[in-house]
Amino acid sequence: MASSTVEIGSRCIIRNQGRFFLLAEIEAKAPGVEIDPIIIIRLTNDQARRLLRGGLKLCPIRNTRPRSTPGLKVEFKCIFIDRGRAFSIFDVENSTDNAVLVRISLQRARELIRRGARRCTVIRRPF
């Protein structure tokens, strides 16, 4: 069976100061094309609770950047800022595909964005 041209890669729920967001990596691949942005969607508390009960996991939040090793690919994706807190988001791939958030200062986030780092696409209005 052929694989789909568009799939969901990393996916998890971000919890930040009592607010919840769905993180999804959209992977679109075809010959000569590879697009894989992170999309973040604001959730209501009820939506988050139901998705967590349904098996979706919370995104891991760390203080240090994950490192690539043999068999482990780490790729910086974007900067996420919410309520004065900032995170660098990395896609970590081995046999699985996971997003990892790393706490960074708001000043560092703004500096990275000025230097060209991508801001995560965020849909802030809950559905």
| pLDDT tens profile 77-92 | 999 999 999 999 999 9
Question: Is 60 contained in some domain?
Answer: yes
* Residue 103 belongs to some domain of the structure: yes
Domain count, the chain: 1
Tokens of 86: 């900032």
pLDDT at residue 22 above 60? Answer: yes
What b/e string do you get for 73-99 counting C-beta neighbours within 10 Å, with b at 16 or more?
Answer: eeeebbbbbbeebbbbbbbbbeeebbb
Residue ranges making up the domain that contains 14: 6-123
Residue 68 falls inside a structural domain: yes
Residue 11 lies in a domain: yes
Q: Does residue 1 belong to any structural domain of this protein?
A: no
Q: What is the mean pLDDT of residues 48-66?
A: 97
Task: Report the run of H or E that residue 25 belongs to, with start and end.
Answer: strand 19-30
Instruction: Supply the pLDDT for residue 1.
Output: 44
**What is the chain's mean pLDDT, rounded?**
94
Lowest mean pLDDT among 1-5, 57-61, 108-112, 117-121: 1-5
115 domain-assigned: yes
User: Is residue 109, in this structure, part of any structural domain at all?
Assistant: yes
